[in-house]
Amino acid sequence: MRIAAQYSHLNGLEYMLVHHKELWDEIQVVIASVDAEACKTKLSKEKTMRGRLLYSPVAMNDEFTASFRKKGWTERRNTFWVTDDEKLMRGVYNQPAGVQKKAIRDAGREPIMSYNQTDFVKNRIAVEVQFGKYAFVAHDLFVKHLSFYVSDIIDVGIEILPMKELEREMSSGVPYYERDLVNVLRQGRGVPAVPLVLVGIAP
């Protein structure tokens, strides 16, 4: 695979180049190590593409996971507690999980455990590789990366997406870089309030 496009939101890439150039180089090595053609294994059953050999999201995810894991990137969960009381939640959101749970209980409400999970985290940098449904990208950018940033777990979130040229050779409903770039740009310069790097990849 190759990087075909990239976008730096709130100086995410600049931060990487100054503070974590070795990790940025590592991410590029991981992307280059994925053999796209070896992942073209999915025989389509969709009406409009029946019988066509497509790039398999599962196979590509497996390749990325193996490569990132070899380089020491690990999964990370950010656990927190929620309830239906808006004022209470505003008061405890930035507190440690144990404090959140106790405050909710003390207020007579039911604490509900929740969490956000990121597949690859290393030295306060998070990477998501998204070949799932297009709606998952918004969740990554506006929930996962933002939650980890606000919780002081990461400094930059990196989202790896297929370019349109790759998406055309995949099942329907997969995200692509060009559309999600516009989705970020239309929010304005400060939203989401987390430094990001959007990376578009192609065979």
Domain ranges, ordered by start, for the chain? 2-73+118-202
Q: What is the pLDDT of residues 82-113, one digit of tens each?
A: 999 999 999 998 888 999 999 999 999 999 99
Characterize the bridge pairing of strands 196-202 and 156-162. Answer: parallel
Q: Exposed, middle or buried by CB within 10 Å (0-12, 13-18, 19+), for 50?
A: exposed
Question: Which fold, 2-73+118-202?
Answer: Restriction Endonuclease (3.40.91)
pLDDT band of 52, cuts 50, 70, 90: confident
Q: For all residues of the chain together, what is the average pLDDT?
A: 92
Q: What is the pLDDT of residue 188?
A: 87
Q: What is the pLDDT of residue 163?
A: 97
Q: What is the mean pLDDT of the segment spanning 46-71? A: 87
At 4 the three-state DSSP class reads strand
At 150 the three-state DSSP class reads helix
Q: What is the pLDDT of residues 65-76, one digit of tens each?
A: 999 999 999 999
In this prediction the pTM is 0.89
Crossing angle (nearest 10°) for helices 21-33 and 57-70: 140
Q: What is the pLDDT of residue 46?
A: 72
CA distances from 105 to 11, 82, 87, 89 (A): 40, 11, 14, 12
DSSP string, 114-145: EEEEEEEEETTEEEEE--S-THHHHHIIIIIH
Sheet strands (E) in the chain: 2-9, 42-43, 53-54, 74-82, 112-122, 125-129, 156-162, 196-202
**Is 55 a residue whose pLDDT tops 90?**
no
